[in-house]
Structure 1
């Protein structure tokens, strides 16, 4: 209870001085406070002892908080792997997209009738400090509506994920993509022509 079983299991594993620590669903069925405590312990073990930690989890929040690399499995096969920031920014597999794209993504894209839809991902300072949409509207005269947006921390960086509806036809969508792709730490892709 209270993560005690996890702490004891980790202590037992560390007694053997391993090079790799395997944590299989170490935070499942824990309350949020205890989850944070266990994740902090795992991160501390990695940082202080230099032990490689392999985390098996269904909780993307765990991956976001403590992992540097991720492998996404789909029916027992690795569908995609790489740096967490790369996979979360530009997921290539349908399994990764299902985990990374915002909730209600497909319904939002389908509901955007008459608009091109662009997915914008931003990392670091651009996630919170740059008024991208306002600048794009003023500088390029592109009208964009925010269909959905979220910002969260992955590791120690702010990470944002946004769906924009672009009106005005194909030319406006291309202008928006060109503008956004020219900004450092921005990934932009068209998800609905």
Structure 2
């Protein structure tokens, strides 16, 4: 091997040997060791055992199967991060719901203050005014065309008026 490869592998020469699969099933640790391994406190380990997240080893209160505990804790974290776990406390769930509602309310107030939201009634009034103006302009077309052309008979003007009214009615009914 080249000197560069040997230099790269040097830190791994003193690395501990990974236990084989059968040995992993038998590794036991104390509550303090498990807490240190998972980066938790012993009190949190006790809570997780009481909540059924971590299995208690059969050999006594302080002997945990390391492999089972790590797998169970990893599954717990994964499910919690995906929002699949409720912690069973209805008071916490209600507080979380209220906090979300308060945040939504504040977001709406801020959006309204920035002018990003308008009242539905104000939008309805504005559109109503615009559509009434369009309707009045459309209904005035037959008389304006008759005065410009001068060659239309009253029956022609009535036919144009009828077509415009039919289109307005169809549009109002959503056809």
Same fold (TM over 0.5): no
Q: Which of the two has greater strand per residue?
A: 1
Give 1 or 2 for the bigger CA radius of gyration: 2
TM-score between both structures, scaled by the size of structure 1: 0.19
TM-score between both structures, scaled by the size of structure 2: 0.20
Q: Which of the two has greater helix per residue?
A: 2
Higher relative contact order (CA 8 A, sep 6+): 1
